[in-house]
Amino acid sequence: MTAPRALPAPHATPLDLGGRTALVTGAAGGIGRACALRLAAAGAEVRAVDRDAAGLEALAEAARGAGGAVEPHVLDLTDLDAAELAAAGTDVLVNNAGLQLVRPIEEFPPDVFHTVLTVMLEAPFRLIRGALPHMYGQGWGRIVNVSSVHGLRASAYKSAYVAAKHGLEGLSKTTALEGAPRGVTSNCVNPAYVRTPLVEKQIADQARTHGIPEERVLSEVMLRDSAVRRLIEPEEVAEAVAYLCGPQASFVTGTSLVLDGGWTAH
């Protein structure tokens, strides 16, 4: 019988990613920016991927000011071959990039549906595909997919987003099963509404679709099902991502870490 492995004492294992390379998509703002800064603060060299060159430069400057290392990488994730190449050699992969459109299905533009699925499901597949050979070769890797409460619960008028997030959940679990024998974990982080530009841009869409004034969207639509009636801060999501990259989470894989203020408790 194999002897039990000694575990670190509580509070004795701060996140140390020195010598590791992390790739974060959608890194120019919101959750992605917070994740990039958190991982850089832990010592990782961060490849920050986004279409927003100015946002990436601002991120890199902020990281330098805090003593971290962030390398801006301007990339449109609809270029799937380039996405896969960008992930080569990474130790930590955070699939975060996303977009949203709120429309009834009969009014939802098919080209937008295709783009959402490409950026939020097919690109993560290609990024994982690009990252795994290096992770497998060294016997260690961390994949964190920023999903959503909408990966666990559907909402009306978000067909593309909900479909992409549900698919990402399945992709993450499959990756976990394949990666476990080779030291690679794969998990989802599932926040409810986060204080980000993506959420702020939804307010007008939600007001029009639901037929209510914009000032009522937050309380009557976005936070209606949450027991904790506030938006989540990006830094709170980044801490959950960081936890899944640390030694304390080596046995956590194939699961979803839910940060929804009690939404799914109903």
Helix intervals (H) in 42-122:
53-65, 80-86, 110-117
Q: How far apart are CA 146 and CA 245, in angstroms?
A: 13
Q: Helix or strand or coil: residue 265? A: helix
Half-sphere exposure of 139 (CA within 13 A, CB side): 0
Is 243 designated active site?
no
Q: CA-to-CA distance for 158 and 69, rounded, in angstroms? A: 36
Residue 43 sits at the vertex; the CA angle it makes with 40 and 44, to the nearest 5 degrees, is: 65
- Whether residue 88 contacts residue 131, with contact meaning beta carbons closer than 8 Å, is answered with yes
Residue 46 carries which DSSP code? Answer: E
C-alpha closest to that of 69 among 41, 92, 98: 41
Identify any residues that bridge with 94 across adjacent strands, giving them in sequence order: 24, 144
Could you give phi then psi for residue 93, rounded to 5 degrees?
Answer: -125, 125
136, 157, 161, 243: the catalytic one is 161
Q: What letter would DSSP give residue 212?
A: S
The token duo for 256 is: 């979803």
Question: Known catalytic residues?
Answer: 161
